[in-house]
Structure 1
Amino acid sequence: MPERPFGEAAGFHITASHSDSPAFKVKPQAELLAENSYVRLNVEPYGGMIYASWMDRCLSVAGKIVFKQGDTLASKTVNIDEDLLVIPNLAIHMNHEINKNLTYDPQTDLQPLFCGEWEKEGKESCKGILEKKIAASAGIREEDLLGRDLFVYVREKGKLAGADKELMISPRLDDLECVYASLKAFLASKPERYVTVCAVFDNEEVGSYTRQGAASTFLKDTLERIGEGMGRKGSSYLRMLSDSFMVSADNAHALHPGFPQKADPSNRPRLNKGIVIKYHGGQKYTTDAYSEAVIKSLCQQAGVPYQTYCNRSGTVGGSTLGNISAAQVSIPAADVGLPQLAMHSAVETAGSRDVEYLIRMLKVFYEK
């Protein structure tokens, strides 16, 4: 909350980012017996995945479960913290075309291997072995487990690489890098005039149209309740919104050294060269003349570099949170991000210096 009296805040300063990343979601009744020897997990793609990047990596399962606790239902997050799964490639000796535009069928080619030597007979004999793992990891009885949202994830830890450790290589940089920067700035800031909000949405990778996504009324409802608590209702609350601003922070495509022709000829972000301001003629990004000027001014005040991104004309790019959430709460906004390579790969690459630039800019944003 701002330092000025509670009811006198000028408006809201909001950052919006998302917590989800493309992955495989685990289906119910997930265990599949294959060739009377192997057990695979039945999964489906969540978001726009680069399938080949998931092959031959150590994987595991994490997510949310709902379970019976006495006469009520309780929920908790769960992570099977061990190398549990792998999606093995077919050897090149058995598929000589594997390096020539190979396509994968998610239902037949991408089901992770769970057990390598299942000896019980019958295709139903393997049912429930994942639930046993989940229940043990959560510290509950297997029969109390009633609901789950589980995902396969890459076990690899993030690391610094490059000649001068200038590269950051990690799963899920899109968009946890911006989540991290937003939260760090939020916690470090001392706002003077504005109520500061760090909003982290789910389900951006599948369109945001869920009750926890940016297309929901969650942000709108939360801001209204804060306004009511401050005694700001009706036209007074609307004046708060008119003096508010949102920074939609979701990573951006950096110029790829192997595919420079895929980038716009004049807007070509590079790693470690600063925050990326994103533009789109079809309004998939919220940046306009006013919000562009606000971001550039904030970068100048923070002493950090910025660069610009547009899709190459004729290329259909992705969308993000800004316009989706702005449709629920009509306030000025800009879309920014940090430059990265291999977006939506199982492991992505970004610049190790850029995250500090975003923290510094957002801290100024929260405080001014």
Structure 2
Amino acid sequence: MTHEPLKTIKTEDHARALAAFIAESPSMFHAVAALRTRLDAAGFSYLPESAAWEVRTGGSYYTVRNDSSLIAWHVGSDLAPDAPYHFQLTAAHADSPSFKVKAEPELDGPGESLRLNVEAYGGMIDYTWFDRPLGLAGRVLVRTGARIESRLLSIRRPVALIPSLAIHMNREVNKGFAPDRHVDLCPLISTGALKRGAFSALIVKELGVDSGEILAHDLFLVNLQEPLVWGAAPEPEFISAPHLDDLMCAYAALEGFLAGPSERTVSVYCCFDNEEVGSNTKQGAMSTLLSDTLARVNGALGRSAEDLRRAIASSMLVSCDNAHAVHPNHPEVADEGARPHLNGGIVIKEAANQHYCTDAFSRAVFAAICDKAGVPYQSFANRSDMAGGSTLGNLSNIQVSMHAVDVGCPQLAMHASYETAGAGDVALAVRALAAFYATDLKIEGADAASLA
């Protein structure tokens, strides 16, 4: 593995590198393509799921499912052929709440106007999508002779907008507004210059193919506002961008993974799709992707099924998905004893209902790793009278059960079309996750663990 040493990268540089990564990743398909580019540059070898795998000690590899989920791993060079081993994993996700264009994409409007037919993907804050010029991104399936091929599409110019209803026609709007997604959230694409069929014609032109070659698409609305590292202080305090949840963790975990994992373990990096809609898809955290990959790595190393079970029992997963920072205008909605703030470091998340996978054992191990590395960390818990969200750690554990802890970077406006986090937290998260990967972790059931 070859990567720039962590100590040579400045705090602000990490924030700007995250902004660049987000700009490359307007959809989950583009995010995985961006991850592949970075892994290729670091010397990783691509192993398609449909091919036979050859995995060697000291080697670095990755595989992809559906072009929207990715798992990479490095086999430590000091891994003894017959000695017990284990996995150290992080998992983030590449998808974000947005509006997905339906297979029949066009709706007529009053007069000769034309609108897009969309439906919600995930639980976004709807009002943040109004009155913003919007682009499109995702993948398109194209017929080329006897083949069907997937093409990435990113339209980075304004082609649609969801207009608000004027306050004169809804005088009570500032007292509360719950948009009807079937009525209020249809993007306008033309007032009459474009007719039915214009959406397909737009895709055809962008991809440079014939109209009869477009078979299907997974396309999403994109907020075109560029990521910004900003603030009034001499050193920028904030980063604002679309998709901070969860590309911030996807970036930080990858940087930690590439910074130099232990050569006595198998280090694994996961970036899943479909977390925002429950993870129960063929490429989600609840799919067989992780269990299939670990089993195949184990087999390619010449290990037995018994070796795999022993390895998983000694392994640990850090589930990385952003956390809620205390809101400066609404501190009352945060738990009094667990109020993470921007630029305070990575957050350990815990919930009695087990929607987060953290327990006392996994919390103690991760906290000890951070303490040893001198990296700050914070805590999050929901108010006891509020239902919280969930993430991918407990779902992936349904397929591959191991010790696991939920962490994330603190942020504001989660699931808005434009979110905000601390610029300094990017580097702090990278340091924490790099420390996890660099640790040679020895787990003894749920009784003890040693850090080397």
- Check if 1:24 corresponds to 2:99: yes
Alignment partners' CA distance in 2, 1:114 and 1:231: 57
What's the counterpart of residue 236 of structure 1?
307
**Among 194, 219, 231, which residue is 2:290 paired with?**
219
After the TM superposition, which residues 1-368 of structure 1 pair with which residues of structure 2 at under 5 Å, given as runs? 1-5=75-79, 7=81, 8=83, 10-118=85-193, 126-164=195-233, 165-368=236-439
Deviates more, 1:84-93 or 1:215-224: 84-93
Q: Secondary structure, in 3 states, of the residue corresponding to 1:66?
A: strand
Q: Is the 8 A contact 2:79 2:265 kept in 1?
A: no
Alpha-carbon distance between aligned partners in 2 of 1:5 and 1:275, rounded to the nearest angstrom: 30
SS at match of 2:378: strand
Match of 1:272, SS? coil
Once the two structures are superposed, residues 106-144 of structure 1 have per-residue CA deviations (whole angstroms, 9 ceiling, x without a partner) of 11111011112337xxxxxx3321112112222322211
TM-score, normalising length: structure 1: 0.95
- Is the partner of 1:273 in helix, strand or coil? coil
Given that 1:6 and 1:230 are in contact with CA atoms closer than 8 Å, whether structure 2 keeps it comes out as no
Equivalent residue number for residue 53 of structure 2: none
Tell me what 2:40 maps to: none
- Once the two structures are superposed, residues 265-293 of structure 1 have per-residue CA deviations (whole angstroms, 9 ceiling, x without a partner) of 11111000011000000111111111101
The structure-2 alpha-carbon separation of the partners of 1:228 and 1:159, relative to structure 1 and needing over 3 Å to count, comes to: same
Tell me the secondary structure at the aligned position of residue 284 of structure 1. coil
Partner of residue 123, structure 1: none
Secondary structure at the counterpart of residue 107 of structure 1: coil
Q: Tell me which amino acid in the other structure corresponds to 2:188.
A: L
Task: Provide the rounded CA distance (Å) in 2 between the counterparts of 1:296 and 1:23.
Answer: 34
**Maintained 8 Å contact 2:275/2:284:** yes
Offset, 1:6: 6.6
SS where residue 353 of structure 1 aligns? helix
Whole-Å Cα distance in 2 between the matches of residues 250 and 135 of structure 1? 36
Distance, in Å, in 1 between the alignment partners of 2:422 and 2:263 is 32
Which residue type is aligned with residue 290 of structure 2?
L
Structure 2 vs 1, CA of residues 310 and 190 (structure 1 numbering), >3 Å: closer, same or farther?
Answer: closer
> Would you say the 8 A contact 1:39–1:118 is kept in 2?
no
SS in 1 for 2:252: helix
Offset from partner CA, 1:21-57 (integer Å, 9 cap, x none): 1100101221112113211101011111111111111
In the TM superposition, residue 201 of structure 1 has moved relative to its aligned partner by 0.6
One-letter code aligned to 1:276: V
The structural deviation recorded for 1:248 is 0.1
Asked if structure 1 preserves the Cα contact closer than 8 Å seen for 2:356 and 2:394, the reply is yes
Q: Name the CA distance, whole Å, in 2 between partners of 1:247 and 1:128.
A: 46
Query: Hey, what's the Cα distance between the residues in 2 that align with 1:139 and 1:15?
Result: 39
What do residues 132-191 of structure 1 show as CA deviations (whole Å, max 9, x unaligned)? 211222232221111111111101111022222201111110000000111112222243
Taking the aligned partners of 1:76 and 1:303, their CA distance within structure 2 comes to 44
Q: What one-letter code is carried by the residue in structure 2 that aligns with 1:57?
A: R
Provide TM-score, normalisation by structure 2.
0.78
SS across alignment from 2:165: coil
C-alpha distance in 2, partners of 1:299/1:254?
20
Partner deviation per Cα, 1:201-243 (whole Å, 9 max, x = no partner): 1111111110011111110001000000111122111111122
Local SS of the residue matching 1:83: strand
Task: Tell me how large the CA RMSD over aligned residues is.
Answer: 1.3
Which amino acid counterpart does residue 423 of structure 2 have in structure 1? S
Name the structure 1 match of 2:71: none
**Long gaps (5+) in structure 2:** 1-74, 440-452
Bigger relative contact order, structure 1 or 2 (CA pairs below 8 A, ≥6 apart): 1
Structure 1 residues 163 and 9: alpha-carbon distance in aligned structure 2, compared to 1, 3 A threshold: farther
